[in-house]
Structure 1
Amino acid sequence: MRRRVALDNDEHDEMYPTDKEQTRTTFETRSRRKRLAQVAATIASVILLLLAVLGLVYGSFYLYRRYVTDANDKRDNDEYLRKLVRQVNDSPETTWKAKFNKFGVKNRSYGFKYTRNQTAVEEYVEQIRKFFESDAMKRHLDELENFNSSDVPKNFDARQKWPNCPSISNVPNQGGCGSCFAVAAAGVASDRACIHSNGTFKSLLSEEDIIGCCSVCGNCYGGDPLKALTYWVNQGLVTGGRDGCRPYSFDLSCGVPCSPATFFEAEEKRTCMKRCQNIYYQQKYEEDKHFATFAYSMYPRSMTVSPDGKERVKVPTIIGHFNDKKTEKLNVTEYRDIIKKEILLYGPTTMAFPVPEEFLHYSSGVFRPYPTDGFDDRIVYWHVVRLIGWGESDDGTHYWLAVNSFGNHWGDNGLFKINTDDMEKYGLEYETAVV
């Protein structure tokens, strides 16, 4: 029996390893797993490294291709625009000179998205109609009608008639925001406020107040100066300029003019701030407001109402009023005389017109689109400026004198002369307001 037990014990030892053997087996298993894990980690690291290298190579190749493409596009654009400038300067038909502007751009779509509050727009349209039906507007219309057209001078410059109003000579810079509508409207407001005060009010009114706080007026992708001037009537404008209540805040370093491609960033930063900057201690924001009496459009136009842009409504206008009183519509000379009377008696107005590629390279003279063929294909955007006068060229043709919003170093010290004969069919717009 003892022997059997011994045998049984031997069999037991063979069937069940000792603790030492079991520990060794476990250690070997763990070591094997660890080595496998290390191999797997090494393989994974190599794969990740290869992917990183491939990504780096692809990224570098993509950036290089993009750089080459951008460089080629810029070279092609520059060559195209330089050729356009040469065409203008070499042609005996042109009445102006161009200078190549490296910030000039070709016509292209930027994909701007516009939003409209239909109710708010309809309210503004109704207010404009009420302005037009007011007794003040009736007196204004009588004054324009009673002023003899023969007394309108051939040449006029508002800076000379109202030398005590420095705002008329001010050349703004809209920078990297498509705020020309607000800049021009605030300029007209500043000029007319000064003229109305006989030169005692000399401050610049704030375009920032419009672009930031008038949601119905527009944004950094563009807007309507008539709505901006209506906002001046309803909500008032605070002082602007560098040291006024609300100075202009958008980037000016992006070009002369800045490309519309920069407007996206500006639109993201656009905000309404109803308080004055710290250095302006004269008054609080609400107390710094200046108001007009009524706003109006000079030339027949409509206003987009619906969010999709398909629904438009007509607004009453000065020239529309005089057209209704005549059996035949006013011709170009007659309606220009009315706009001249408006500027001569009350001060500057805005003007909106389509800007072709060559305009951005204007240097001097009387601008006219050139070449005349393909004008529609060269329109970069619609632009709003401030009219301060007019004149007559040597050949007897009319031109407007305007202040642009590209700064003092663009064009003819920030100003330009323009013959709009070839643009009248597009429906140029002229807006203003009475203090």
Structure 2
Amino acid sequence: MMAPSRTVVLLLVCTLMVALQATAANAYYNGSDDGVTMQMFEEWMAKYGKTYTCHGEKEHRFGIFRDNVHFIRSYKPPATYGSSSVRINQFADLTNAEFVSTYTGAKPPPHSKDVPRTVDPIWVPCCIDWRFRGAVTGVKDQGACGSCWAFAAVAAIEGLMKIRTGTLTPLSEQELLDCDTNSNGCDGGHSDTAFELVAKHGLTAESEYRYEGFKGKCRVDDLLFNHAARIDGYRAVPSNDERQLATAVAGQPVTVYIDAGGPAFQFYGSGVFSGPCGTGLNHAVTLVGYCQDSVTGKKYWIAKNSWGKSWGQQGYILLEKDVVQPYGTCGLAITPFYPTV
């Protein structure tokens, strides 16, 4: 038999390589090697109302989605990080860097800022949850805007107004977004300067000044004359002192800055979250209570977030309380603030 020519051999090799590449691409696209399929991705897209401008973008996002599903399926927090779990949510098509740059945005003030750091001593119960006392509005959604600083401040003011007046009124984050010149709208801002603005001008009801998800022109008439809430000012809880922070939360909801970086936070689903996270404060949430897990015995803070109800425990995260580090879980004890009347 005549041996095949060099040309025929090369043709066969090239054909085989093309076939192998096509098989690998098909496996990646359909997820046949790991169960993460395009159909699964499209079902996720339908659930969260996701659309993409072109096929290339969809393929790119599918690759990120696939990596995130791998992380979620393999997630096993070290024993030192408690009992929290992660799950697929609306952020599954984003890298962690994209998620942090889009959905955080808090900018803590310098430690030298001149503000009273005091907490009035009161009786501190073992557990308190301001949601059950009617002092917390429903979970809101900041959208793709770094306005967490406004939502965290508003939640604290809403709670204080309910405690002092007996009426719970949803208040306007958009007014802070538009009118706080010391913050940068969707590019991040300061919950403390939001308190300063409300102390000076008051705050409009959400029904009168609705959230748009972008910084617009300040409606000065509403800012000056259309008020549903007023505060006298604000105080800061002494830094790195969870005991005094508990005293403050026993009296009213409190705004805190935290480090929300890392995929474990991005995909938090349930349980007491102990980390991993650091102290690179980039996000603001509102502590609306604290208690203790009856199974694990871990104490936790109840933090209201602003990423909608599909994230976490219906929009909340339980952050471990009374940890060894003085700065608290994810740095929550470094710079807490609360409004005053």
- TM-score norm. by structure 2 comes to 0.69
User: Displacement of 1:340 after TM fit?
Assistant: 1.1
> Unaligned stretches of 5+ in structure 1?
1-65, 113-120, 251-265, 277-283, 299-318, 321-331
**Aligned residue for 1:272?**
218
Aligned amino acid, residue 95 of structure 1: S
Structure 1 position 217 matched with structure 2 position 118: no
Q: 1:89 touches 1:98 (CA, 8 Å); kept in 2?
A: no
1:382 to 282, 286, 303: 282
Q: 1:388 touches 1:401 (CA, 8 Å); kept in 2?
A: yes
Q: 1:70 to 1:94 in 2, by over 3 A?
A: farther
Structure 1 position 413 matched with structure 2 position 318: no
The aligned runs of 1:4-153 (5 Å cut-off) are 70-88=57-75, 94-104=82-92, 105-108=94-97, 129=114, 132=116, 141=119, 143-144=120-121, 147=122, 151-153=123-125
Structure having the higher helix fraction is 1
What are the superposed Cα offsets for residues 223-258 of structure 1, whole Å, 9 maximum, x if unpaired?
A: 111111111112221111xxx2211122xxxxxxxx
> In structure 1, how many angstroms separate the alpha carbons of the residues matched to 2:253 and 2:101?
33
The structure number with the bigger radius of gyration is 1
Aligned residues: 272
RMSD between superposed Cα atoms in Å: 3.3
User: Displacement of 1:357 after TM fit?
Assistant: 1.9
Structure 1 position 232 matched with structure 2 position 132: no
Structure 1 position 205 matched with structure 2 position 205: no
Hey, which bits of structure 1, 4+ residues long, moved more than 6 A? Answer: 90-93, 109-112
Structure 1 position 392 matched with structure 2 position 292: yes
User: Displacement of 1:419 after TM fit?
Assistant: 2.0
User: Displacement of 1:75 after TM fit?
Assistant: 3.1
Aligned amino acid, residue 130 of structure 2: A
**Aligned residue for 1:43?**
none
Aligned amino acid, residue 208 of structure 2: C
Q: 1:238 touches 1:285 (CA, 8 Å); kept in 2?
A: no
**Aligned residue for 1:325?**
none
Q: 1:194 touches 1:202 (CA, 8 Å); kept in 2?
A: yes
What are the superposed Cα offsets for residues 159-207 of structure 1, whole Å, 9 maximum, x if unpaired?
A: 23x33x4xx042111113211100110111111012111x1x3222211
> Unaligned stretches of 5+ in structure 2?
1-52, 103-108
Structure 1 position 353 matched with structure 2 position 253: no
2:150 to 154, 176, 182: 182
Aligned amino acid, residue 196 of structure 1: R
Q: 1:159 to 1:90 in 2, by over 3 A?
A: closer
User: Displacement of 1:71 after TM fit?
Assistant: 4.4
Q: 1:100 touches 1:361 (CA, 8 Å); kept in 2?
A: yes
**Aligned residue for 1:367?**
273
**Aligned residue for 2:126?**
154
> In structure 1, how many angstroms separate the alpha carbons of the residues matched to 2:317 and 2:330?
20
User: Displacement of 1:289 after TM fit?
Assistant: 5.6
1:402 to 303, 326, 338: 303
> In structure 2, how many angstroms separate the alpha carbons of the residues matched to 1:111 and 1:395?
34
User: Displacement of 1:155 after TM fit?
Assistant: 2.3
**Aligned residue for 1:245?**
208
What are the superposed Cα offsets for residues 248-293 of structure 1, whole Å, 9 maximum, x if unpaired?
A: 122xxxxxxxxxxxxxxx35xx2212345xxxxxxx9614263211
Aligned amino acid, residue 108 of structure 1: A
3-state SS in 2 of match to 1:153:
coil
Q: 1:76 to 1:293 in 2, by over 3 A?
A: same
> In structure 2, how many angstroms separate the alpha carbons of the residues matched to 1:294 and 1:81?
43
3-state SS in 2 of match to 1:182:
helix
Q: 2:203 touches 2:226 (CA, 8 Å); kept in 1?
A: no
Q: 2:156 touches 2:254 (CA, 8 Å); kept in 1?
A: yes
Identity of aligned residues (%): 21
Structure 1 position 293 matched with structure 2 position 194: no
User: Displacement of 1:392 after TM fit?
Assistant: 2.0
User: Displacement of 1:220 after TM fit?
Assistant: 0.3
3-state SS in 2 of match to 1:295:
strand
